Structure 1
Amino acid sequence: MAEHHEHEESKGESLIDKISEKIHDHHSSSSSSSDSDDEKKSSSSPSIKSKIFRIFGREKPVHKVLGGGRPADVFLWRNKKISATVLGVATGLWVLFELIEYHLLTLVCHILILSLALLFLWSNASTFINKSPPRIPEVHIPEDHVTQVASALTTEINWALVVLRDIASGRDLKKFLSVIAGLWVFSIVGSWCNFLTLFYIAFVLLHTVPVLYEKYEDKVDSFAEKATAEFKKQYAVFDAKVLSKIPRGALKDRKKD
């Protein structure tokens, strides 16, 4: 009986050992498969990210595209108080000049008159009330900053002139049609509103479009990808039916010869 009992115990222990070994092997195989899946996902993630379509071929974040620093923080509402203040001041100026029809020169003159009158009265009254006169700071514009702004502006104007010259030479028909269409749209918008209103609209768009695009970036890029593909398809049809039948200019023929 004792031998039979010991035989049953050894048999039960061997059965338990086999079950535990199977569970251990299954766990190790599942963990190794999960690790291999993770490696595949991690190896494939860069290729997936590289294939994501971005508007205008953008590779940098929206904050870097806007130049970074404080201006980008204002446009992307990193500090809501500052952004709201800037937008509120711009709206107040637009209402003042456009709706109330207040003139810029008149506003500047009235502000100078009020400021000079207050400072003059304060300086003369300080001797009677035994208080120190106001400290008027010395304001001067640094020459380096003005030179940098003028240099950057000159560079942009020269670049625009080079682009216009290149378009007028008839080398790129696609760019020519794009510029003509853009100028035509601007002419229509200019007939609807004056320069101040147009500038204010652009200012409001800078404070709304970038932050909305950053919030819904993936959805906008997906829609833009489909729209770009459809535009390329329609342009290919237009090129085959219309543009390819237009006679080439003498400038292109001379270059090929």
Structure 2
Amino acid sequence: MGLEFNPMGGGEERWCVVTGGRGFAARHLVVMLIKYDMFSVRIADLGPTIKLDSDEESGVLGEALKSGRAVYVSADLRDKSQVLKACQGSEVVFHMAAPDSSINNHKLHHSVNVQGTNNIIDACIELKVKRLVYTSSPSVVFDGVNGIINGNESIPYPAKHNDSYSSTKAEGEALVIKSNGSNGLLTCCIRPSSIFGPGDKLLVPSLVDAARAGKSKFIIGDGNNMYDFTYVENVAHAHICAERALASEQPVSGKAAGQAYFITNMEPIKFWEFMSLLLEGLGYERPKIKIPAAVMMPIANLVELIYKLLAPYGMKVPQLTPSRIRLLSRSRTFDCSMANDRIGYTPIVTLQSNILRTYLHFDLLDAVIYLRADAQTIRIGPSKAELLLGCGKVADVLLWRNRKETFTVLLILAAFDFNFVASGYTAITAVSKLLLAASVFLFIHSKLPKKILVYEIEKIPDSKFHVSAAASRQMSLSVASKWNSAMSDLKSLCKGNDSILFFKVVLSLLLVSMVGAFSLHNIFVIGLPIIFIAFVVYEKKEEEIDNFVVKALSFGCKFKPDLTRKVSNSEKQQ
């Protein structure tokens, strides 16, 4: 099970592991560890092999892989045997692996952030690893309702988090802190705030997508919410500071261990000012039109509901979600005094050193043609309509990318309407007829030979009809989590102290009642043609439609200042 290690400099080799080692911040930590000649580095990630970018091949990482000072290990943290293999013989583990935070999938986040972290801890204890540094998040103390100004480590975990990523990160962090001292293992957690810098494939690209879709003109909230951003080199530096503090002699390591630390650039800035600097650097206009978060939340809830329904059919995560609206409109600044005192962290790169200009003009040179505003005249990549639909199967069907496929879907939907909706059956009769049709189809399909003439008949594997114990347990946990969340909202509504929640409930029920006024058959007859035509029209007339929407919203905001002020004041009181 063990890996073969090459001696380093003829002396005793010292290995460290970086989980999620091909992630954004992890890549910078790997390079920094190699440059400092602290350890031989084992890069653990999901991919079967490591694929280097062109600059990496000729850089520090490429040389280290060739010389054996760095090795790559394919490992899924959810598989304990793979975790044991990845951690064997290491002195330190930097646990940085985590799913994409924008995907609000509780099952996925729990399996990696909680179960995977538990596997890491067990492996460290079993293999007598000396130190474990866990990459957490400031979101573990953020409830999505109350802003945080100069928050320190005394802030407790909230009763309800902003999303599944935050709640499962908090669970993983708690496990790491609790494991401190187990079989000599020293642990601590790093909470870097809003990471940015070279290699970022999330912040700037998503900002540019929003700009091209005409959404970057808007400020969610009053635009005065303060934020702490952290340059990625400072994040890597903080991890090394933490590891060195844990490795030092007592009492320093004892003081550093068993704690979580906020890490920032120590330079709070208005969130929307930071976004404006990035947009201006790429040639886009600064956002100017302010929209109260309370106005956007019902829309975001509707978008999230649509995503949950269409995600199994290829729809990608939308940018407009309730958790993201809360992140964009609340203040989040943090105090790094404890990190400075206990692990000796201070930023090594500052915002004042023209880091924004460096970030925009040097890191994005290869992609500048795709990102700059003056490149919009040539469509590169997916259209706005395609982005709205998630760039998957749903987009292909509704945008008529494959006419045969689109007509097939239309025929299936029309057949469903004719047989189960327009016929006027009751719900029970419709369901029973649908199950009867499915049973007949499955029976006939099972009797067909594997090949008819030149056509192969793909058989449905038995695994499709089986739900494992682990999967059923996860389904139960997911149902319980959603039930508890609904009950929590109901309690808040009963107390009468959450006007935003009341507004969302009323608006949702009004929407349901409006939809309920139409028969299901009418929804099919009217809705289907509109859906299959509207997105095609939007794709062809994107600019005209976007400009019209912007002007309409601008007109509405100009002549409804009293409503905006009242909603904003209501938000602040919450």
The alignment's TM-score, normalised by the length of structure 1, stands at 0.50
Query: Which has a greater percent of strand?
Result: 2
The alignment's TM-score, normalised by the length of structure 2, stands at 0.26
- Rg comparison, structure with higher value: 1
